[in-house]
């Protein structure tokens, strides 16, 4: 009887096109970044954790975006606290100065070598319009650390939300 139920459930899954449930595991993670914006008026608004607070408001002055200082090869990272098979990552860009994110790499892996910046690449952010959210498919790459880095350029990283989606059970 049980085998018949499982076979029927599998058939219904195929027939109905039932999709897996996904979870944003970044919300329970711990974020850090290479530096914090060194600005008297706005520096306190720039913490790494702001990019995983569940609020994708792209207006930096509202306090829900992270922001590094301008530096060579800035990076941002979330520690998911355990390794997950990543389906996709969504990145929300800041409302203004959005072109700063162009060329950033999204990395996934389990190594903290060079602050996690040697892990395998999921995607390169070619461009995200100001204030927009873009999805990057990672095709099941596995890792505990998600990094976003702009290599070899004097720049800052500003992220208003980073969502890391998996079908793995928590």
Question: Can you list the domains of the chain with their CATH numbers?
Answer: 21-166 (2.60.120.260)
Instruction: Give me the residues paired with residue 142 across strands.
Output: 85
Non-local CB neighbours of 154 within 8 Å, separated by 6+ positions: 70, 71, 72
Over residues 157-169, the pLDDT tens digits come to: 999 999 999 998 7
Give, as one character, the DSSP assignment of residue 130: T
Q: Determine the pLDDT at residue 38.
A: 83
pLDDT tens across the length of the chain (170 residues): 434 333 333 333 344 555 679 999 999 999 999 999 988 777 778 999 999 999 999 999 999 999 999 999 999 999 999 999 999 999 999 999 999 999 999 999 999 999 999 999 999 999 999 999 999 999 999 999 999 999 999 999 999 999 999 998 75
Give every CB contact of residue 1 below 8 A, 6+ residues apart in sequence.
none
């Amino acid at each position: 009887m049980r085998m018949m139920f499982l076979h029927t459930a599998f058939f219904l899954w195929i027939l109905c096109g039932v999709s897996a449930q996904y979870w944003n595991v970044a919300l329970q993670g711990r974020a850090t970044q290479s530096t914090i914006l060194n600005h008297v008026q706005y520096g306190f608004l720039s913490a790494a954790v702001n990019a995983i607070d569940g609020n994708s408001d792209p207006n930096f002055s509202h306090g829900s975006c992270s922001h590094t200082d301008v530096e060579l090869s800035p990076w941002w990272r979330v520690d998911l606290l355990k390794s997950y098979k990543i389906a996709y990552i969504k990145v929300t860009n800041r409302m203004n100065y959005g072109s700063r994110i162009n060329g950033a790499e999204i990395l996934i892996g389990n190594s903290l070598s060079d602050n996690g910046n040697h892990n395998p690449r999921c995607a390169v952010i070619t461009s995200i319009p100001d204030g927009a959210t873009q999805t990057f498919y990672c095709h099941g790459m596995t890792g505990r650390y998600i990094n976003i880095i702009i290599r070899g350029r004097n720049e800052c990283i500003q992220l208003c939300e980073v969502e890391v989606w998996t079908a793995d059970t928590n």
